[in-house]
Chains A and B, each alone.
Chain A
Amino acid sequence: MEFKVALGPQHPALHEPISLRMTLDGEIIRDADLKLGYNHRGIEKLAESRTYIQNLYLTERICGICSHSHTTCFTQGVEKLMELVPAKRGLYIRTLVCELERVHSHLLWLGVAGQEAGFESFFMYTWRDREVVMDILDTISGNRVHYAMNTFGGVRRDIDELQKKKILDSLDLLKSRTEYYLHIGASEPTFVGRLSGVGMLSKESAIALCAVGPTLRASGVPMDVRKDDPYAVYDEIPFEVCTADSCDVLGRTVVRVKELLESYKIIEFLLKNLPAGPIKVKAPRKVKENEVFSRYEAPRGENVHYIKSNGSDKPERLKVRAPTLANYPATIAMLKNGFIADIPLIFAAIDPCICCAERLVQLDNPRSGESKVLTFSQLRQMANQRYKNVIFKKKESLWPF
């Protein structure tokens, strides 16, 4: 006997509308199916009718968390089409915002993971610390979410000595807090017990299903666009690619915490080696006919833009592939043969209420497939029978029944 349970597209705990259909055998998920498109806005079509500089601000609005990721991916692609060499100082500031965005995204994810694992204080701690990064981003760009830092040829805002000092001071606090989270992630028994072995994704299937980002790295594949295909100034920065071999949610948590520590090192390096000079160079308006495939390591994984130009000031085609789409086939593989109770953890940001979704009117035996319908009076009778001879105790006192 198979059950089908639907989750979404509208659900109070879902951050975005997505529909998930699961085929269950008892409590075990045998198959999962995704339906997308509830948030499809037609950005690729819209981009064909806008100029490059307008598209820069359009791509910023693809995502709220990875706003800088999409503009950087688009900007560096268009810069290659324009055969433009961006200003060195501009590239350093651009990379700095990239890493700050990674820090704020990973801290946010850690909090969500803590909440889904039932570790509420972890959620409070990480989100409090995330405010430190948000403040830094606010001082650099003037915005908390859409930074609007990028422009063709460099960045739009410079940073001064005072801001530099403030960022470095804040980093010390973040570093010590993150080391504490690494300690918790590796040694707190309830947290480790809840996360380990959940959402297994073997190395072979992670590669076959083209997973990206921390999901792939937690399955032991050291793929990181910053190392494999260095963009901006990543070829000058010393850093390590963080991986884990446990292939489960615990591994993904550890990878992200380790990446936070690497990001702090990168930010420190960038600030201490910030070259003097202009922050941007002048860019042409029209772009000659060509095409470019731009890759970027967003906090969630590899982000890809494919831009084809046609000689005018508008692109012929802009194809965007955000990291989450690449991870969906892997997510279905992770859900299979897992428990219903693990869906929120595997889907991380999703907190479904399976038990409220379907009311009990029909009792099915999952093994034999037999079913019987109970009326409300029969249910009440059963409940009375069950509680007839039970004595309720609270500590030592009898409850007044």
Chain B
Amino acid sequence: MNAETIVEKITSEIKDKIQETALTAPRRINVKVDREQLLAVLQYLKDQFGFTHLATISGVDLGEYFEVVYHMSNAIATVNVRILTPRSDPKIPSTCSVIPGAILYERELQDMFGLVVQNIPDPRPLLLADDWPAGEYPLRKDWHFNRPDEIIPGGK
């Protein structure tokens, strides 16, 4: 089996669940799905081709939408499964029921992009400081770091 046969099988077997499939580079497959179908597609990839290793989950701020990319690997290829979620309703399903190792990446997405991961087993903040203000998500494009004015203690 190689990446080409995986693409052929995906397009023929779960055509109704995916929006598009492409082989973008050697051993790299891009799959675009609806966020409602994400868990079913990941489960299918895991059971059918042994894509058990989730390398990471990348979030990208596209303005009106957030793009969330799940990088799944096996010994032959890497599948980048991507979903779009609108900025007004930034909900994504938790993949921990399919891949238990996804938990830290999903907590990171909640911290950095303010995405709401539904059914996440552990929703606590992961990376940001304890006194980080609510509603500020540093990796969104409209977030800018403003250095607070320097105050010299006892100065004039």
Which of A's residues lie within 8 Å of B, judged by CB? 35-37, 40, 42, 44-45, 80, 207-212, 223, 228-229, 292-293, 295, 302, 304, 306, 308, 316-317, 319, 321, 325-326, 328-330
Q: How far is the CB of B133 from chain A (nearest CB, A)?
A: 15
Determine the chain B residues whose CB is within 8 A of the CB of A325 once the complex forms.
104
Interface contact A229-B78, CB-CB below 8 Å: yes
The complex places the Cα of A210 from the Cα of B69 at a distance, in Å, of 16
The complex places the Cα of A308 from the Cα of B125 at a distance, in Å, of 26
Interface contact A306-B104, CB-CB below 8 Å: no
Closest to B107 in A: A36
The complex places the Cα of A398 from the Cα of B138 at a distance, in Å, of 69
Determine the chain B residues whose CB is within 8 A of the CB of A210 once the complex forms.
52-55, 99, 101-102
Interface contact A317-B60, CB-CB below 8 Å: yes
Residue interface bits B6-20, CB-to-A below 8 A is 1, else 0: 000000000000000
Given contacts A80-B25, A208-B100, A293-B55, 7 further A-B pairs with CB under 8 A are A208-B101, A210-B53, A211-B101, A295-B73, A317-B58, A328-B104, A329-B101
Determine the chain B residues whose CB is within 8 A of the CB of A308 once the complex forms.
60
Q: How far is the CB of A80 from chain B (nearest CB, A)?
A: 7
B94 at the interface (CB under 8 A from A): no
Residue interface bits B47-59, CB-to-A below 8 A is 1, else 0: 0000011111011
Determine the chain A residues whose CB is within 8 A of the CB of B104 once the complex forms.
325, 328-329
The complex places the Cα of A37 from the Cα of B125 at a distance, in Å, of 10
B117 at the interface (CB under 8 A from A): no
Determine the chain B residues whose CB is within 8 A of the CB of A42 once the complex forms.
138, 145
24 contacts between A and B (CB under 8 A): A36-B127, A37-B125, A37-B126, A40-B128, A42-B138, A207-B53, A208-B99, A210-B101, A223-B53, A223-B75, A229-B27, A292-B25, A293-B55, A295-B73, A304-B55, A304-B56, A306-B56, A306-B58, A306-B71, A316-B60, A317-B60, A321-B55, A326-B55, A329-B101
Interface contact B139-A293, CB-CB below 8 Å: no
Interface contact B71-A293, CB-CB below 8 Å: yes
The complex places the Cα of A36 from the Cα of B130 at a distance, in Å, of 11
Residue interface bits B32-75, CB-to-A below 8 A is 1, else 0: 00000000000000000000111110111100000001010111
B28 at the interface (CB under 8 A from A): yes
The complex places the Cα of A149 from the Cα of B28 at a distance, in Å, of 27
Q: How far is the CB of B57 from chain A (nearest CB, A)?
A: 9
